[in-house]
Amino acid sequence: MNAQTLRRYLTPPLIALLLAIALFFAGGLINPDFINVTQAINIVRLAAFLGIISAGQTLVIISGGEGIDLSVGAVVTLAAILTFRITGGDNNLIGVGLLASLSAGFIVGLLNGIGIALLHIPPLVMTLGMTGVVSGTILVVTQGEMLGATPALMSTYIAKPLIFGIPGVILIWVALGVVMWLLMERTTYGKHLFAIGVNRTAARLSGVRVERAVIITYTLAGLLAALGGFMLLGFAQTVLLNLGDPYRFPSIAAVVVGGTMLTGGKGSYWGTMSGALVLTLIDSLLRAMGLAEAYQLIVFGGLLVLLIAVYGRELNLRQ
């Protein structure tokens, strides 16, 4: 097999998946009890939450224009708090809580898109500003008191095993992967997304309504982050004012580790799913090694920089 054939089959998503598998078996060298079916399912379950939250980030980064959504962590927290307070633990109100969460994510994402596409505010500035607005609004409304409860059915259908010992969140994640693939590869929006990521000027000259595509992209990112917050509440069973903060930067790293170019125009959600697995495994291995939390953060941060340098430095010439 020559180098060209190898590059064709050894795609970044596949490389990330192979790395995840290697990391899993490497865990057996640290702790023999690390390698078992239960542990594997638990790792995939944890990766699913990061993967769902990273779905919108994938669209944003592919759209180019230095697109990065720093508001995902705040939206995750907002969605979880809304569901927690609205349902109050009542199973009958789960649908209302989900609708309220998705509506909030929709509004935040829409505002991000309008600010970036129509007001020409840089994505980094716009989404960081929205993070402050959302976080401040949460503080004003809640006054720091987390009143409410999580419906029992959310834990049953999200965190606990449903079919053949597989938790519901994993099944939902796989279904989301199929939906994302169809969206990106089989719709007009998907074609426009990659086009504006490659070259917005050329896309506009080809008839693509660039501003509309950007607004749709950030709106979808807000919706998917809110879905992630709803799902995370079903697992955590409680809310914190910083519940979504740990996902802000890993959601970006998962996308890049999965092979999506930071310059936009090239990537896939399958790669993001593999990237989420890689990051979750690294975190699990550091915990298995028994390192103090401070050293875990240092090593994890250093590895993120290394992985992003390896996977995210590819640049294409733009016309």
Domain assignment present for residue 183? The answer is yes
Domain assignment present for residue 244? The answer is yes
Does residue 129 carry a pLDDT above 70? yes
Domain assignment present for residue 229? The answer is yes
Domain assignment present for residue 259? The answer is yes
Does residue 2 carry a pLDDT above 90? no
Domain assignment present for residue 211? The answer is yes
Does residue 112 carry a pLDDT above 60? yes
Domain assignment present for residue 30? The answer is no
The structural domain count of the chain equals 1
Domain assignment present for residue 282? The answer is yes
pLDDT in tens, 22-55: 888 888 777 777 788 888 899 999 999 999 999 9
Statement: the pTM of the whole predicted model exceeds 0.85: yes
Q: Find tokens 């938790």 and name the residue.
A: 167
CATH number at residue 90: 1.10.3470
Show the domain range for 245: 37-311
